[in-house]
């Protein structure tokens, strides 16, 4: 192995807090008219490490500490092989953070609406690896960093199930827009299994205690055991608000062969998918929009002031009416016991024959004993 693949060590990857592998295939136009296309294959690996836990209470990290390996050589087949490290909080005069090796090239860009600075390490550059025969990126904090809470994203969501009993319930989705002054639309896509019978007339959307009518609603009802419910809505989220989307449902009864091996654990409902153009954080600082005389000019959404985001809420776990699967086992055991006792006794009475056993003469041992008894004058046996 060579290049970034040397870092893929199974025992380290599978002990992380989160890891995800994906393969993306898409068509790419070769010319402006798109008369011919090519296929692009992209493989991704996302890994989340808890640096505070693995670093024994410190936030220091390095490639060797995370992967137990370092980069030794680039991939000979790759035309580009680079490592990008987020160094937004780092500068040359920084007295709290040390980056090794020192980046020679940096790259700045707006990522998800936030201005970011990245250190670029080109693995095809012979000077990057040949100087030390390997590349081990290290972040060391000279002094403990301040525990600053990360900025809250302008769009985040939460989903949960409410209700009691095993007949009716309610699906609730909370959509949060924390932007101080800008509203933006969100496309909500829900796919609900057929065994949750949705009551579409109970669909309610409220924002700041008032009804919020969606701009677009598309609903495709489910078919039992064939397709799930499909609910798609375009909702306008007011600025600095929390929008609640709720819909009631009724639990259906399944066939006993349709239950999973662990039916009492519950059934999972797929998460909601949120798609939106979220305003950028770069242009949302209070100093910029409160003191600027061109305050109204910030409202129109353009490509430079917003970015596309697709979010997935957490999946839900719903309990369905579950029969007592131990009852057939108990019935079988009881029936077999009764049949064995009754039929066994009855069969024994029908097939058994009784005979009178004649007393045995005693054989040679008894004859010798009587002979000795006669010699002694004792009555025989």
- In the predicted structure, residue 77 carries a pLDDT above the cut 50: yes
Instruction: Please indicate whether residue 309 or residue 54 has the higher confidence score (pLDDT).
Output: 309
Using one digit for the tens of pLDDT, what is the confidence trace for 180-191?
888 999 999 999
In the listed set 269, 295, 318, which residue is the last one of a domain according to the structure?
318
- 373 inside domain: no
Range in 52-61, 162-171, 212-221, 344-353 with the lowest mean pLDDT = 52-61
| Mean pLDDT lowest among 258-272, 326-340, 355-369 | 355-369
If asked whether residues 167 and 120 sit together in one domain, one would say no
Residues 31 and 94 in one domain: yes
Q: Which of 89, 119, 141 is the last residue of a domain?
A: 141
Angle at 252 between CA 248 and CA 254, to 5 degrees: 155
Q: Is residue 341 part of a domain?
A: no
Residue pointed to by tokens 């059934």: 267
Q: Is 21 a domain residue?
A: yes
Whether omega for the bond prior to residue 101 falls within 30 degrees of 0, making it cis, is: yes
Residue 49's contacts (CB-CB under 8 Å, 6 or more residues apart) are 16, 17, 61, 66
Query: Domain check: are 159 and 134 in the same one?
Result: no
Mean pLDDT of 131-160: 77
Residue at 359 is within a domain? no
Q: What percent of the chain has pLDDT over 90?
A: 29
Which of the two residues, 143 and 100, has the higher pLDDT score?
Answer: 100
pLDDT tens-digit readout, 259-293: 888 888 889 999 999 999 888 765 544 434 333 33
Judgement on whether residues 49 and 162 belong to the same structural domain of the protein: no
* CATH number, residue 204: 2.60.40.740
Q: Which of 67, 109, 77 is nearest to 1 (CA)?
A: 77
- The secondary structure of the chain, three-state, reads CCHHHHHCCHHHHCCCCEEEEEEEEEEEECCCCCCCEEEEEEEEEEEECCHHHHCCCCCCEEHHHHHCCCECCCCCCCCCCEEEEECCCCCCCCCCEEEECCCCEEEEEEECCEEEEEEEEECCCHHHHHCCCCECCEEEECCCCCCCCCCCCCEEEEEEEECCCCCEEEEEEEEEECCCCCCEEEEEEEEECCCEEEEEEEEEEEECCEECCCCEEEEECCECCCECEEEEEEEEECCCEEEEEEEEEEECCCCHHHCCCCHHHCEEECCCEEEEEEECCCCCCHHHHHHCCCHHHHCCCCCCCEEEEEEECCCEEECCCCCCCHHHHHHHHHHHHHHHHHHHHHHHHHHCCCCCCCCCCCHHHHHHHHHHHHHHCCCCC
| Together in a domain, 84 and 215 | no
Query: Does 214 reside within a domain?
Result: yes
Are residues 96 and 225 located together in one domain of the fold?
no
Q: So what's the pLDDT on residue 324?
A: 81
- Whether residues 313 and 172 share a domain: the answer is yes
Between these two residues, 300 and 176, which has the higher pLDDT value? 176
Phi and psi, residue 356, nearest 5°: -85, 125
For residues 67-75, average pLDDT: 82
Residues in the chain, overall count: 381
Q: Are residues 32 and 168 in the same domain?
A: no
* Region class of 208: left (phi > 0), else alpha (psi between -120 and 50), else beta: left
Amino acid 303: pLDDT: 45
In a domain, 338, yes or no: no
Give the pLDDT confidence score for residue 191 in this predicted structure: 94
- By C-alpha distance, which of 70, 138, 71, 64 is closest to 101? 138
The verdict on residue 146 lying in a domain is no
User: Does residue 340 belong to any structural domain of this protein?
Assistant: no
329 φ, ψ (degrees, to nearest 5): -65, -45
CA–CA gap between residue 210 and residue 359 (Å, rounded) = 105
Out of 71-75, 219-223, 273-277, 360-364, which region has the weakest mean confidence (pLDDT)? 360-364
Q: Are 270 and 191 in contact (CB under 8 A)?
A: yes
Out of 89, 107, 141, a domain closes at 141
Q: Tell me which residue range forms the domain holding 160.
A: 155-318
Higher pLDDT, 308 or 285: 308
Task: Tell me how many domains the chain contains.
Answer: 2
Percent of the chain surpassing pLDDT 70: 83
pLDDT reported for residue 113: 63
- Which pLDDT value is given to residue 301? 39
Query: Is the pLDDT at 78 greater than 60, yes or no?
Result: yes
Output the six-digit token pair for 173: 């989705």
pLDDT per residue as tens digits for the range 6-23: 888 888 888 888 888 888
Bridge partners, 199 (sequence order)? 248
In whole angstroms, how far apart are CA 331 and each of 64, 258, 260, 334, 338?
A: 60, 22, 22, 5, 11
For residues 171 and 254, membership in a common domain is answered with yes
Residues 220 and 260 sit within 8 Å (Cβ to Cβ):
no
Report the candidate in 63, 48, 215 with the shortest Cα–Cα distance to residue 132. Answer: 63
pLDDT of 338 over the 60 cut: yes
pLDDT band at 318 (very low <50, low <70, confident <90, very high): very high
Residues 312 and 273: their CA atoms lie apart, in Å, by 5
For 301-314, give one letter per residue: b (16+ CB within 10 A) or e: beeebbbebebebe
pLDDT in tens, 193-228: 999 999 999 999 999 989 999 999 999 999 999 999
Q: What value does the mean pLDDT of the chain take?
A: 81
* Confidence band, pLDDT 50/70/90 cuts, at residue 140: confident
Task: Looking at the structure, tell me whether residues 310 and 176 fall in a common domain.
Answer: yes
Same domain for 129 and 223, yes or no, is no
Segment 346-363 shows an average pLDDT of 75
pTM: 0.66
**Chain mean position to CA 360:** 83
Beta-bridge partners for 236 = 185
Are 164 and 291 in the same domain?
A: yes
Please report which confidence band the pLDDT of residue 147 belongs to, taking 50, 70 and 90 as the band edges: low
Q: Which of 105-109, 160-164, 211-215 has the lowest mean pLDDT?
A: 105-109
Give residue 290's pLDDT.
38
pLDDT for position 352: 81
């Amino acid at each position: 192995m060579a290049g970034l693949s040397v870092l893929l060590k199974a025992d380290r990857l599978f002990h992380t807090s989160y890891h995800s592998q994906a393969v993306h295939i898409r068509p790419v136009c070769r010319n402006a008219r798109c008369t011919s296309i090519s296929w692009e294959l992209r493989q991704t690996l996302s890994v989340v490490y808890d640096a505070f836990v693995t670093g024994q209470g410190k936030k220091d990290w390095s490639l060797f500490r995370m992967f137990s390996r370092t980069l030794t050589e680039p991939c000979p087949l790759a035309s580009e092989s680079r490592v990008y490290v987020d160094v937004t909080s780092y500068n040359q005069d920084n007295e709290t953070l040390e980056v090794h090796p020192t980046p020679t090239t940096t790259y700045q860009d707006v990522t998800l609406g936030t201005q970011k600075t990245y250190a670029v390490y080109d693995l095809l550059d012979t000077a990057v690896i040949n100087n030390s025969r390997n590349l081990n990126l290290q972040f060391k904090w000279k002094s403990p960093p301040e525990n600053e809470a990360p900025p809250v994203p302008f769009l985040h969501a939460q989903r949960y199930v409410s209700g009691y009993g095993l007949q009716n319930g309610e699906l609730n989705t909370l959509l949060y827009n924390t932007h101080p002054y800008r509203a933006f639309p969100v496309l909500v896509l829900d796919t609900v299994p057929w065994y949750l019978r949705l009551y579409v007339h109970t669909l309610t959307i409220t924002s700041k205690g008032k009804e919020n009518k969606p701009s677009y609603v598309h609903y495709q009802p489910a078919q039992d055991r064939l397709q799930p419910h499909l609910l798609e809505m375009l909702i306008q989220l007011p600025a600095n608000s929390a929008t609640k989307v709720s819909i009631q449902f009724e639990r259906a009864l399944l066939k006993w062969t349709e239950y999973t091996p662990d039916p009492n654990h519950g059934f999972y409902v797929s998460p909601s998918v949120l798609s939106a153009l979220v305003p950028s954080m770069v242009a949302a600082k209070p100093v910029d929009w409160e003191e600027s005389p061109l305050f109204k000019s910030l409202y129109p959404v353009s490509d430079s002031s917003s970015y596309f985001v697709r979010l997935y809420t957490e999946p839900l776990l719903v309990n369905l009416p579950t029969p007592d699967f131990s009852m057939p086992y108990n019935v079988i055991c009881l029936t077999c016991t009764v049949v064995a006792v009754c039929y066994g006794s009855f069969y024994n009475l029908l097939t058994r024959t009784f005979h009178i056993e004649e007393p045995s003469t005693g054989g040679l041992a008894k004859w010798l004993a009587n002979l000795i008894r006669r010699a002694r004058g004792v009555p025989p046996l």
